[in-house]
Structure 1
């Protein structure tokens, strides 16, 4: 069940980046990565942002999580403009919105054990949490993604790709956020493991009331985890609406082309893989983390 009050809003946000001059006397061209985009996300709701590589999806994610300021427009997190806050207030607000990135191996420090990786947001964003309490928060976050205490002292290279992404999700959960922004979180995984991680997002959203912003180039993946969808092309939203309706009857040629180009996940959502519990892992996992 969703709460109609938005926990995340964008009002006409735009972002452009300067490009190299073709010659020294020429005016500097710009690339409009995001152009006049508005959206709302309520507590417990899921919204998919879909488009080809380079369409502005990841730039929009950085704007929505206050990692970059917009050139125009406003972002509101829990009703507050993060770009108008001082550093202390912004740090507190960041606890409520966390990101999961595409490549778990690239986003996890290979020199750190799991306990330190997952605890990192607490150290930076919630310094008032006592060191003795951090371990309990880390263990709780790992349990939420199907990993046990035996993982605490292990390192990222000792896990499968799906397990590493679970660690990244646990790190996002450790501050108890209201919003999770997932930027292509399953594109680096095998199809059968994708289905398990998508199930995990669904279960976490149900149990924790998370608002989920799910970014992907794959319409068929977004079909399984979102209620609404926005399709981007060259920095603009070209189509938006309920996910099932947009994907059943795409009104824009770009949406239809994306839908035709994506292989279906149906095979991975049949038999044992589809029936697996949200926290399950495959028999190919190198160790017991179930």
Structure 2
């Protein structure tokens, strides 16, 4: 690793608590280099100094680093399985579900979970914890404003009920927004809460090294209730799930044994 990037990693860690060395180096470096070149810097040292002076650039950096490709009901068929199979069986055991959307990005995922839960239980009982490492995406999630392209897979009835057109964007209804609590969290270094019925963490783990994934699977498993369910993204099958006390209950759904 070159010294310029190594120093940048140290500086970012002390500024934000984010440890860039846990991400795949070539991928992350390429992504950040293209950003700083586009913004007129010629190395990581200059770039870091720019980040401290320009708030907009700092937000853009956080955005680029956290790979925000998010939309409501992403991979729709999986959400159908959640609604028709997974949640009804969880609700049979417990009418107050404890639900966590981990690495929630700009909020589309936790709001999707809340919309689905609203069909299965009274709105007053719907509660979703949503966490992410990036203050900027959390701030954006709390605004609840989304471009039309984020809504491609939203069923019409949900769109009518919970999303209102505002200019070229759509705004999530207050009743859905009230059910979600956003918090900042670093998955690798911060402790997890426990006794969750459902944990959703999709399309995030692919960016971690194999060692980091092992740590996270153990932590997620430890945070689940017995028979709680862990829902992962469509490129993230867990091989040897039983090592983490999990067994597959459907494609991309794992149950704590």
In proportion to residue count, which structure has more helix?
2
In proportion to residue count, which structure has more strand?
1
Q: The TM-score by the shorter chain falls in which range?
A: under 0.3
What TM-score do you get using the length of structure 2 for normalisation? 0.28
Larger RCO (CA within 8 A; separation ≥ 6): 1
